[in-house]
Every structure is written in C-alpha cells, then in structure tokens.
Amino acid sequence: MLLFAGIPLLDGLDTIARQQSGPFQTILLGVRDRVAAGSGLAEALADRPDVFDAASIHLVEVGENAGNLEHVLEQLANFKLRMMETKDQVLTTLIYPAFLVVFGVISSVFLMTYVMPPLLDNLRESLDTLPWPTRVVEAISNALLNYGVFILLGLVALVAAITTYVRTDSGQLVWHRSLLKLPILGPMMAKQGVSRIAMIVGTLLRSGIVLTSAFDLAAKSTDNRILREALKECGARMGAGENVAEALERSGVFPPLAVRVFAVGQESGRLEEMLERLATDYDRQVSIASKRFTALLEPVLIVVLAIFVGFLLFATILPILEAGRVVSK
C-alpha cells in the first residue's frame, strides 16, 4: 500500500517497523538495515528463513527484477490472508472442544483429590464394604493422592520424549503421516495442505515462474513433510520429462481431483485459474467439514463429561443410601 502511494521502500519499512513491537520489530529493522546497506528486499528477507518462507522470498525477487514489486506484494498479501483465514477457521472450531477437555480434566482431578477423599472416609466409617462404583472412585482417588506427582512427571517425560522424537526427520515423517491418516481430521488436513500448495503454485505461475521451480518453492513452503517430500519427488520427475499428472498420481498423496485439475489445467493453458478454483473449493470443503466436526464433537464431549459426573454421583449416593438402610435396620 505504501509503495502504491509513492513512498520509498526504506520509509515504508520504517513505518511498518514502528507499528510493531517485540522480536518482529527487531526482525523488520534488520531487514531495513540490509536494504539501506544496498541489498535487495528479497536478499534481506532471505536472511531470516525462519520468518519468511521460500515462496514469498522468490516472489519478492521476481517483483524486484520485473519492477512491479508493489503488485507482487499485493498479490502475496492476498495469498497470505487467504491462508490465514483458512487456518483460523479450523483453529476457531477446535477452541470450544479443547476448552471442554481441559475443563473436564481439571475438574476431575479437583474432585478426586479434594472433594472425594473426606467423603469416602465418612462412608468407610458407616459401611464395612463399599459398593463397587465407590471402590473404583476410591482407587482412582488414592492413586492420584499417593502417586499424583509421579503420574505428572511421567506424563511430562512422555510428552518431552514424543516432542523430541517428532523433531527428528524420521519422527516428523511418522507424525505427519499419522496426522493424514486420522479419521475426519486427516482428510481435512490433506485438503488444507493441497489447497495451500495450489495457492502457492498458482501464485508463482502467475508471476512467471516455471512449473518445476514452482513445485520446488511450494515444497519449501509446505509444513507437512509427507506433502513436502511428494512435491520434491514430483518436481524431480517433471524435470526428467514426466508430465505433471503422472508425477502427482505416482506420489499417492494427492487426491484424484487435484491430479485431474493439474492435468487439465496444463493441457488447456489455464493452470493458474484452475488452481485458484481448486484452492477455493478445498477451502470451502475444509470450512464445512470443520464446522460439522465441531458440531459432532461438542455433544460427544458433553455426554462423556455427563457420564463421568453421573458415575461420581452414583458412586457417592449409592453408599449413602446403603448406610441409611443399615441405620434403619
């Protein structure tokens, strides 16, 4: 927007940096200093690959070389906005179920460690033998009271071990492959990943980048390792003379619709347009699926919590009734 208004690039970077705070402001000031020292914007962005992905850097480089940086940045901003909207939709739909799970776990631990022990002690004094639901609750309560610290440390160690393994190359492959195979969530993640790839490739092609280079840059900008390796393999096969449809189909990762769109788009010369439509359609499908998933998950979690609370009430009331019967006799 600032470039369109005729403001120089350095002044534009200064303006944006003043609107930020924290680490990102420091990053922008570093980019500004590199540009002031004579580097191009793309070269300055490339110094921080942890913040700016390869596709974005290459698009900026194309805009600088073609002299239409403001147009390329506008296109890149629209592309990033669409990606963020799709991601935010999925995350927003999962907030309430996640809250229910966290609230349920915290409430359960509180009931088992603070509410149930004194109540169970009183019931023990009234009855020689507690009903089996009460004994189950008592066993869980005693386990949390006596071994709660060890259980917590074990869970922390398990999470740390899984996190460490997932950060390795083999762990990332196993984790990302497992995510794609999850029921309901797996197809959603696959479509979201393909939508992202379609948007990246379409944007790069529209900027004049050849298809093999677009696949390589899309691979560098894709988070899922399975999709990333498939894109690299497809790019290598296309470089060896194989057409895009065959390369995508052999990977076994991309849905048939995506393969067909790439094939028809390449044959008709309208690949950018068809990729845009594919991304829009998959974004819509992900949005609908996420809403349906949330609509299904919320009542399921509520029912599970209700069953748990009902079991606690049953385990508490049953011995009280039996104690009253003993007293009446």
Q: Is residue 225 part of a domain?
A: yes
Q: Is residue 131 part of a domain?
A: yes
Q: What is the pLDDT of residue 173?
A: 84
The answer to whether 283 touches 195, Cβ cutoff 8 Å, is yes
Q: What is the pLDDT of residue 169?
A: 83
What span, in angstroms and rounded, lies between the C-alpha atoms of 30 and 246?
44
- Domain shared by 67 and 107, yes or no: no
Q: What is the pLDDT of residue 39?
A: 86
- Domain shared by 297 and 205, yes or no: yes
- Domain shared by 176 and 274, yes or no: yes
Q: What is the tens place of the pLDDT at every residue in 312-324? A: 888 878 877 776 6
- Domain shared by 51 and 171, yes or no: no
- Structural domain of residue 292, as residue ranges? 78-329
The 3-class SS string of the chain reads CCCCCCCCHHHHHHHHHHCCCCHHHHHHHHHHHHHHCCCCHHHHHHCCCCCCCHHHHHHHHHHHHHCCHHHHHHHHHHHHHHHHHHHHHHHHHHHHHHHHHHHHHHHHHHHHHHHHHHHHHHHHHHCCCCCHHHHHHHHHHHHHHHHHHHHHHHHHHHHHHHHHHHCCHHHHHHHHHHHHCCCCHHHHHHHHHHHHHHHHHHHHHHCCCCHHHHHHHHHHCCCCHHHHHHHHHHHHHHHCCCCHHHHHHHHCCCCHHHHHHHHHHHHHCCHHHHHHHHHHHHHHHHHHHHHHHHHHHHHHHHHHHHHHHHHHHHHHHHHHHHHHHHHHC
Q: Is residue 319 part of a domain?
A: yes
Q: How many domains does the chain have?
A: 2
- Domain shared by 62 and 97, yes or no: no
Q: Is residue 2 part of a domain?
A: no
Q: What angle do CA 122, 123, 125 make, to 5 degrees?
A: 70
Q: Is residue 321 part of a domain?
A: yes
Q: Is residue 36 part of a domain?
A: yes
Q: What is the tens place of the pLDDT at every residue in 127-171? A: 777 788 888 888 888 888 888 889 889 999 999 999 898 888 888
What span, in angstroms and rounded, lies between the C-alpha atoms of 288 and 307?
29
Tell me which of 32, 60, 77 is where a domain ends. Answer: 77
Residue 209 makes CB contacts below 8 A (sequence gap 6+) with: 58, 62, 217
- Domain shared by 88 and 31, yes or no: no
- Domain shared by 145 and 23, yes or no: no
- Domain shared by 17 and 58, yes or no: yes
Provide the CATH number for the domain around residue 282.
1.20.81.30
Q: Is residue 311 part of a domain?
A: yes
Q: What is the pLDDT of residue 187?
A: 84
Tell me which of 77, 112, 135 is where a domain ends. Answer: 77
Residues of the chain with pLDDT under 50: none
Q: What is the pLDDT of residue 124?
A: 74
The answer to whether 122 touches 115, Cβ cutoff 8 Å, is no
- Domain shared by 46 and 87, yes or no: no
Tokens at 204, concatenated: 């790069």
- Domain shared by 104 and 213, yes or no: yes
Q: Is residue 3 part of a domain?
A: no
Q: What is the pLDDT of residue 88?
A: 74
Q: What is the pLDDT of residue 161?
A: 92
Q: What angle do CA 256, 183, 258 make, to 5 degrees?
A: 15
Residue count of the chain, please give it. 329
Q: Which residue has the tokens 């009446």?
A: 328
Q: What distances in angstroms separate CA 47 from CA 50, 200, 285, one per listed residue?
A: 9, 21, 36
- Domain shared by 129 and 223, yes or no: yes
Q: What distances in angstroms separate CA 263 from CA 50, 137, 193, 267, one per listed residue?
A: 33, 60, 19, 6
- Domain shared by 212 and 308, yes or no: yes
Tokens at 187, concatenated: 């197809």
Find the radius of gyration of the CA atoms of the chain: 28
Instruction: Tell me the CA end-to-end span of the chain in Å, nearest whole number.
Output: 86
Tell me which of 38, 57, 77 is where a domain ends. Answer: 77
The answer to whether 69 touches 63, Cβ cutoff 8 Å, is yes
Tokens at 160, concatenated: 């740390």
Tokens at 162, concatenated: 């899984």
The answer to whether 134 touches 316, Cβ cutoff 8 Å, is yes
Q: What is the pLDDT of residue 74?
A: 86
Q: What is the pLDDT of residue 4?
A: 86
The answer to whether 148 touches 156, Cβ cutoff 8 Å, is no
Q: What is the pLDDT of residue 135?
A: 83
pTM: 0.70
